[in-house]
Structure 1
Amino acid sequence: MKNKDMLIKQIVKIMTSCDAIIIGAGSGLSSSAGLTYSGERFETYFKDFIDTYHLRDMYSAGFYPYETLEEYWAYWSRHIYYNRYIDSPKKTYQILLELVKDKDYFVITTNVDHQFQKNGFDKTRLFYTQGDYGLWQCSKPCHQQTYDNEDIVKAMLKQQKNMKIPSQLIPYCLRCGAPMTMNLRCDQTFVQDEGWYQAQQRYQNFLQKHQHRKVLYLELGIGANTPVIIKYPFWNYVSQNKNAVYISINLDDLYCPENIHKQSILIQGDIHNILNSVANEMRNDHDTK
């Protein structure tokens, strides 16, 4: 197995010479950027919820059967705010942008924290497949439309007391009167609005445009929960294009099919640190030319 220094140099060479970069990003990327769902960060923002409901992490806390909508939105307004409307603790996304900004790139992600757009990525080159913490939808849903929630979320955060928001802040659908809910893909009620379909089409157009060219499929923090969205398609695209390269960076879940092994680089470690090493190597490489 090649050592990491050699792999970093190889990644720089590939990123420099390729025609396009398609980034597939999962939760591991945001975790590496400091947006963790458990441990110290969870305890800092949700100590009262932890003490009262014995919650273990932000992910499972989102499924807790809160007795009232006042409690539900007290939790979710905090969850949204601290995972969507504040900057990530580390500059991981900014480092990634530095690496790809001068290339023809596109991003497909299962993340819902909006970090790509917050850190300067072109929004016309982003496809959020699983929703967005910054959007609400009708819980039924009675129509296929989403709504920005920033102002009301910040009001909920400011006005909540004893883990409850004021009743008048509970959001209801303006068409049918049902409670609003998060625009997150967790069941068959997920709303794919016009913006979702436009992003999907832009992604498909990008794939088709570059299907036979020198393409880098850069997979960052994709685990085994939903491999059919990014991981398996990436493997398939690489197997059909002898000019393509598959790079996966992750703490674990590092594997690829035998038929694309010679076109692949699997590098284990913290994504932030590895991307930073790639960026430093790329700067050094540029300075010596």
Structure 2
Amino acid sequence: MIFYEQLVLQAQQSFQSNYSTYAQGKTPIKLSTKQPEKYETQIDQFSKMLNDAEYVVIGGASGLSAAGGGDFYYTDTPSFYENFGKFSEKYGFKGAFAGMQYPFPNRETYWGYLATFLHTTLNAPVRQPYQDLATILQDKDFDIVTTNQDTQFIKEFDETKVSEIQGDHRFFQCSNACTDDVWDATKSIDQMIQAMGDDTQIPTDLIPHCPHCGAEAFPWVRGYGNFLEGKKYQEEYTKISNALLSHQGAKTLFIELGVGRMTPMFIQEPFWTLSYNLPNASYISVNRDNAFLPEQLENKGLAMQNDIAKVLHDVRNQLVEAKNDK
């Protein structure tokens, strides 16, 4: 098993054993009781830790995209109505993920909705937090691991630096997992959107199928069904694993951005393990709702419970100003 995947598996076991704790928005890990510094001091600390680091590992989750305006997933925000209004008006659900669970009357409508969802994320502009992050990392050696499937990272960064360990909206897979292949979904999505027009369903012949066995396809994304952990999946884990192993002696800063309480096993807890066990490692968490700092990391970590977009923008500005003053 690949190195980073092993860390995820260990964290998944903890999640299953302590599910009731996680379900309450908590963690079984003992947290620091240190009172956080004022916001301006935290920004200074963030900037200093970044400047001191030889290598940076970004862990980006759903809260990062939500901070930049991709906040249509869970509730009826203005961006939800802008992108999914015709479905909400007809079927009454609120939030894009609620639409994923809705019992549409037929597969043509289901795929009309799914194509709308995928088209929305694939064609969204790069959001400001990602742009600010790119500026922050401009002069650093870095790698990125993400559970986001919305392609924001690969629009802004070299894809060789990004490990998408939970899938990618650009690809389809066989729902029966008859093959190890994933294939391009973007052309099919565009065709569905064009054919649907103002309606809420697509023509039957545009429902995508596996080119090998003929079974219906679905996005190569965990959560739709039998998520394919094949060659593409292994390649994503291999990227981040090789990057980490090749920087074991470096002064490494792990920055966790927007991890939710139901998915701590993919980024948050592996970052805690690495930050604690690597002697030259430090850790930053930025989260609007729950910025946790384990007690074991309180002397080498920083937790900022604040708006991710604001934090990244303020750090960016501070670094740019310092650079211009030199």
TM over 0.5: yes
Give 5+ residue unaligned stretches, structure 2.
1-35
Question: Any idea what SS the aligned residue of 1:212 has?
Answer: coil
Q: Which moved more, 1:178-187 or 1:20-29?
A: 178-187
- Corresponding residue of 1:258: 295
Shift of 1:101: 2.7
1:12 to 47, 68, 71: 47
Query: Contact conserved, 2:255 with 2:283, CA < 8 A, in 1?
Result: yes
2:144 corresponds to 1:102: no
Over the aligned positions, Cα root-mean-square deviation in angstroms equals 1.4
Shift of 1:196: 2.6
Distance 1:67 1:144, change over 3 A: farther
Give 5+ residue unaligned stretches, structure 1.
none
Offset from partner CA, 1:84-139 (integer Å, 9 cap, x none): 22214x422111011113211111110000101112x1111111111111111111
Question: For 2:274 and 2:248, how far apart are their aligned partners in 1?
Answer: 8
Q: TM-score, normalised by structure 2?
A: 0.85
- Corresponding residue of 1:272: 309
2:85 to 43, 47, 53: 47
Query: Contact conserved, 1:24 with 1:109, CA < 8 A, in 2?
Result: yes
Query: Contact conserved, 2:218 with 2:224, CA < 8 A, in 1?
Result: no
Query: Contact conserved, 1:127 with 1:196, CA < 8 A, in 2?
Result: no
2:204 corresponds to 1:167: yes
Identical residues among aligned pairs (%): 31
Shift of 1:194: 2.4
AA matched with 1:256: L
- Corresponding residue of 1:77: 115
Question: For 2:311 and 2:65, how far apart are their aligned partners in 1?
Answer: 14
Question: Any idea what SS the aligned residue of 2:249 has?
Answer: coil
Question: Any idea what SS the aligned residue of 1:162 has?
Answer: coil
- Corresponding residue of 1:152: 188
- Corresponding residue of 1:118: 155
How many residue pairs are counted as aligned between the two chains?
A: 287
Q: Which moved more, 1:275-284 or 1:7-16?
A: 7-16
2:125 corresponds to 1:87: yes
AA matched with 1:175: H
- Corresponding residue of 1:176: 213
2:174 corresponds to 1:131: no
Q: Which moved more, 1:214-223 or 1:42-51?
A: 42-51
Question: For 1:185 and 1:167, how far apart are their aligned partners in 2?
Answer: 25
2:96 to 53, 58, 66: 58
- Corresponding residue of 2:23: none
AA matched with 1:28: G
Shift of 1:188: 6.3
User: Where in structure 1 do 4 or more consecutive aligned residues deviate above 3 Å?
Assistant: none
Question: For 1:125 and 1:200, how far apart are their aligned partners in 2?
Answer: 12
Shift of 1:192: 2.8
Question: For 2:308 and 2:142, how far apart are their aligned partners in 1?
Answer: 19
Shift of 1:65: 2.3
AA matched with 1:223: G
Question: For 2:258 and 2:188, how far apart are their aligned partners in 1?
Answer: 31
Question: For 2:230 and 2:131, how far apart are their aligned partners in 1?
Answer: 28
- Corresponding residue of 1:225: 262
Q: TM-score, normalised by structure 1?
A: 0.95
Query: Contact conserved, 2:175 with 2:225, CA < 8 A, in 1?
Result: no
Shift of 1:187: 6.5
- Corresponding residue of 1:241: 278
